[in-house]
Amino acid sequence: MGKLDDKVAVITGGSSGIGLAIAQRFVQEGARVVITGRRQEALSDALAVLGEQASAFQGDVSRRDDVDRLYAHVGQLYGRIDVLIANAGVIHPAPFEAVTDEQYDSQFDINVRGVFQTTQKALPLLSDGGAIVLVSSIAHFKALEGHCVYAAAKAAVRSFARSWAHDLKHRSIRVNCLSPGPVKTPIIGKMGIAEEHQDAFEAGLGELIPLGRMGRPEELAAAALFLASSEGSFVTGIDLCVDGGLGQI
């Protein structure tokens, strides 16, 4: 018997990295999963891994019409949502003085607006007693070089979790924040770091982390499962940091 048997979960940004790892774990625990992403090819690859308990929806969480279409799709399939994982996000590292309008807008459109409307528009389908997990980052409280805009966006996500835990308490909907530290995912390759330098980059990060290494996506999935399942039934409004101690010591 799984910890999410007969539950319906929507996971944004579920085609790779942390989102895909969460989807895999949720399927293993008995959930029916809908993943979202912007690239159909990546979604198709993810579905090949996830199997028949999963389906995919192509769309951009920063676009209101795409989010409306997502929930129309989920409503037709299942008629409800029990767990929402707002994971979709982007990062464009740059020194403060070099941040462009495009980098700023992209990070706030997806990391903030996307999380807001993904969650707000899910409410009519979200079951009373359901669970929402917002994926933030330890950048929301720890200054990291080149991350000023990303950090501000993720601070908004942390604030949303606190506010929404209060706003939705009358429906017994738990809202929590999951804040990863450095995790070995494909997003590293999207940060502008040349492939030949990625090993050195990861080794350097590992030296900064008390546990001596980067995190693994499945470790974040285990934490998401705790927050989403009955294991975390008396937990709401928190920020669960899965960071190898980087932001704690």
The token pair at 198 is: 């990625």
Find out whether 17 and 35 touch, Cβ atoms under 8 Å.
no
Please measure the distance between the N-terminal and C-terminal CA atoms of the chain and give it in whole angstroms. Answer: 38
150 given a catalytic annotation: yes
Task: Dump the DSSP string for 48-66.
Answer: HHH-TTEEEEE--TTSHHH
Q: 154 CB contacts (<8 Å, ≥6 apart)?
A: 89, 111, 136, 137, 139, 140, 179
Find out whether 57 and 36 touch, Cβ atoms under 8 Å.
yes
Distances (CA, A) of 164 to 81, 131, 152, 156, 161: 17, 11, 18, 12, 5
3-state secondary structure of 217: helix
Instruction: Give the separation between CA 89 and CA 136, rounded to whole angstroms.
Output: 9
Region for residue 30 given its phi and psi (left: phi exceeds 0; alpha: psi -120 to 50; beta: otherwise): left
DSSP 215: B
3-state secondary structure of 241: strand
Q: Which residue has the tokens 């997502």?
A: 70
Which residues are marked as active site?
150
